Amino acid sequence: MEPISTVAGIGVPLQRSNVDTDQIIPAQFLKRVTKTGFDDALFYGWRQDPDFVLNREPYRVEQPGTETRILIAGPDFGTGSSREHAVWALRDYGFAAVLSSRFGDIFRGNSGKQGLLAAQLSEKDIETIWLIVDEHPGIAVSVDLVAKTVTVGTASFPFEIDDYTRWRLLEGLDDIGLTLRDENHITEFESRRESWRPTTLPAR
Amino acid sequence: MTEAARPRTLAEKVWDDHLVVKGENGSPDLIYIDLHLVHEVTSPQAFDGLRMAGRPVRRPDLTIATEDHNTPTLLIDRPIADPISRTQIETLRTNAQEFGIRLHSLGDIEQGIVHVVGPQLGLTMPGITVVCGDSHTSTHGAFGAMAFGIGTSEVEHVLATQTLPLKPFKTMAITVEGTLKPGVTAKDIILAVIAKIGTGGGQGYVLEYRGSAIRSLSMEGRMTICNMSIEAGARAGMVAPDQTTYDYLKGRPHAPQGAEWDAAVAYWNTLATDDDAVFDAEVFLDADELEPFVTWGTNPGQGVSLNDSVPDPAAFDDPNDRAAAERALEYMDLTAGTPMKEIPVDAVFMGSCTNSRIEDLRAFAEIIKGRKKADNVRVMVVPGSARVRIEAEAEGIDKIVEEFGAEWRFAGCSMCLGMNPDQLAPGERCASTSNRNFEGRQGKGGRTHLVSPVVAAATAIRGTLSSPADLSVEVSA
Ligand code: SF4
Facing A176 at nearest CB: one of B21, B91, B157? B157
**What's residue B476's pLDDT?**
39
Name the more confident of A83 and B32.
Answer: B32
For chain A, list residues with pLDDT below 70.
28, 82
Rounded to the nearest 5 percent, the helix, strand and coil shares of chain B are: 40, 20, 45
Summarised one tens digit per residue, pLDDT across range B170-229 is: 999 999 999 999 999 999 999 999 999 988 889 889 999 999 999 999 999 999 999 999
CA dihedral B60, B62, B67, B70 (to 10 degrees): -100
Of all residues in chain B, what percent carry a pLDDT higher than 90?
A: 81
H helical segments located in B17-65: 44-53
A91 CA to centre of ligand 1 in angstroms: 33
* Ligand 1, atom 6: closest residue by C-alpha: B413
DSSP per-residue letters across B250-261: TTSTTS--HHHH
CB-CB under 8 Å, B153 with A175: yes
Check pocket membership of B39 for ligand 1, CB cut-off 6 A. no
Q: Which of B117, B148, B417, B419 to mutate to test the pocket of ligand 1 (most atoms within 8 A of CB)?
A: B417
SS3 state of residue B214: helix
Largest CA distance in chain B: 71
Q: Using alpha carbons, list the distances in angstroms from residue A40 to A12, A34, A59, A149.
A: 17, 13, 15, 30
What average pLDDT does the segment B386-396 reach? 97
B1 pLDDT tier (thresholds 50, 70, 90): very low
Q: Counting atoms of ligand 1 from 1, which one is nearest the CA of B114?
A: 5
Query: What is the amino acid identity at position B153?
Result: S
Query: What is the average pLDDT score of chain B?
Result: 94
Ligand 1 midpoint to CA B209 (Å):
22
Give residues with Cβ within 8 angstroms of B128, minimum separation 6. A197, A198, B14, B34, B35, B145, B146
The secondary structure of B448-475 as a DSSP string is EEE--HHHHHHHHHHSBS--HHHHHHHH
Q: Is B132 annotated as a binding residue?
A: no
Above pLDDT 70, what percent of chain B? 98
> Per this entry, what is the length of chain B?
477
Asked if residue B474 has pLDDT above 60, the reply is no
The residue length of chain A stands at 204
| B352 pocket-lining for ligand 1 (C-beta < 6 Å) | yes
Closest residue on chain B to A92 (Cα): B52
Read off the pLDDT of each residue in B47-75 and give the average, rounded to a whole number: 93
- In this prediction, residues B58-65 reach a mean pLDDT of 98
Across B144-151, average pLDDT: 92
The radius of gyration of chain A from alpha carbons, rounded to an integer in Å, stands at 20
pLDDT value of residue B356: 97
Residue contact A176–B160, C-beta within 8 A: yes
In the sheet with B19-21, reading across from the earlier edge strand, the strands are B19-21, B29-32, B163-166
* Residue B248 pLDDT: 98
Q: Which of B35, B45, B102 sits opposite A203 (nearest CB)?
A: B102
B82 has a chain A CB within 8 A of its CB: no
Alpha-carbon distance B121 to B253, whole Å? 6
Query: Smallest CA–CA separation between A27 and chain B, in Å?
Result: 15
Q: What is residue B440's predicted lDDT score, i.e. its pLDDT?
A: 84
- CA trace torsion B261, B264, B268, B270 (10° rounding): 130
d(CA A44, CA A54): 11
- How far is B368 from chain A, CA to nearest CA, in Å? 36
What is the pTM (predicted TM-score) of this model? 0.86
pLDDT of residue A162: 87
pLDDT in tens, B74-129: 887 788 888 888 888 999 999 999 999 999 999 999 999 999 999 999 999 999 99
User: Does position B284 have pLDDT exceeding 70, yes or no?
Assistant: yes
Q: Rounded distance, CA B400 to CA B403, Å? A: 5
Residue pair B149/B133 in contact by the 8 Å Cβ criterion: yes
pLDDT digits (tens, 9 = 90+) for B255-275: 999 999 999 999 999 999 999
Q: How would you label B263-287 residue by residue, b for 16+ Cβ within 10 Å and e otherwise?
A: ebbebbeebbbeeebebeeebebeb
Indicate yes or no: CB of A186 within 8 angstroms of CB of B165: no
Closest chain B residue to A36 measured between Cα atoms?
A: B48
For residue B20, the surrounding DSSP H or E stretch is strand B19-21
- Predicted confidence band at B473 (pLDDT cuts at 50, 70, 90)? low
- Among residues B415, B434, B407, B432, the alpha carbon closest in space to that of B348 is found at B432
B447 or B420: which leads in pLDDT: B447
Which residues of chain A are within 8 Å of residue B45 when distances are taken between CB atoms? 33-35
For B351-363, the pLDDT digits (tens) are 999 999 999 999 9
Which of the four pLDDT bands, split at 50, 70 and 90, describes residue B477? very low
